[in-house]
Amino acid sequence: MGRTGIMGGTFNPVHIAHISMAEAAYRQAKLDKVLFMPSKKPPHKQDINIISEKHREAMVKLAIRGIPYFEYSDFEFKREGTTYSAQTLELLCRQNPDDSYFFIMGGDSFFQVESWYMPGKIMEHAVILAVSRNGSDKKEMEIYAGKLRDKYNAEIMFVKMPHMDISSSNIRKIISSGGDAAMYLPDKVWEYIKSNGCYI
């Protein structure tokens, strides 16, 4: 029986805060591995110009190369249409009934989870690992976690990590304006972006 973390997202592009978040979740929740699972067509980001699956897959693989407990997963890429976390988790639990799943969420996603498709299913099939990236939102997160526990019988754990003021949208803006985004990205990912002309 394995303890598997799910690190989802568009990874457009994957950056060092994604890696740090997964690392903190892996250590603090005592996971066996973390699956980096890029979203195919995330329902909450339909208006964003998302780079091709080929590029996002390549960048994630480069970002996690050499970290034995991180794995790339194309589970959502292989599905058709819009991908919902509730359905993904239900399918994973059906395929691997002996495994336990831990869904890693940053603070923004955590506070929005009830607006997602079938939030009860998400909390039925996975432990929520809510990542506090600055500490200042911890009290608010605890209050909201209590609400989710009461309403959905959710199992929620908190993960701490240092504040990192990094977002994929800001990285895209820096690159498109000709700036240097090296400090926000794993070295191999920055090299890939430059050599493939991504986000220009």
Q: What per-residue confidence (pLDDT) applies to 132?
A: 84
Q: What per-residue confidence (pLDDT) applies to 138?
A: 83
* pLDDT band at residue 1 using 50, 70 and 90 as cut-offs: confident
Q: What per-residue confidence (pLDDT) applies to 114?
A: 97
Q: Which residue has the higher pLDDT, 79 or 36?
A: 36
- Distance from C-alpha of 157 to C-alpha of 105, rounded to nearest angstrom: 10
**Quick check: 107 pLDDT over 60?**
yes
Tell me the pLDDT tens digit for each residue of 119-170.
999 999 999 999 987 665 788 999 999 999 999 999 999 999 988 889 999 9
Q: Which residues pair with 72 in a beta bridge?
A: 36
* Distant-in-sequence, close-in-space partners of 155: CB < 8 Å, separation ≥ 6: 123, 127, 128, 149
The pTM (predicted TM-score) of the whole model is 0.94
* pLDDT band at residue 42 using 50, 70 and 90 as cut-offs: low
Q: What would the mean pLDDT of 41-67 be, rounded to a whole number?
A: 85
**Quick check: 20 pLDDT over 90?**
yes
Which has the closest alpha carbon to 34: 63, 8, 1, 66?
A: 8
Q: What per-residue confidence (pLDDT) applies to 45?
A: 56
Q: Which residues pair with 102 in a beta bridge?
A: 5, 127
* Mean pLDDT of all residues belonging to the chain: 93
Percent of the chain with pLDDT over 70: 94
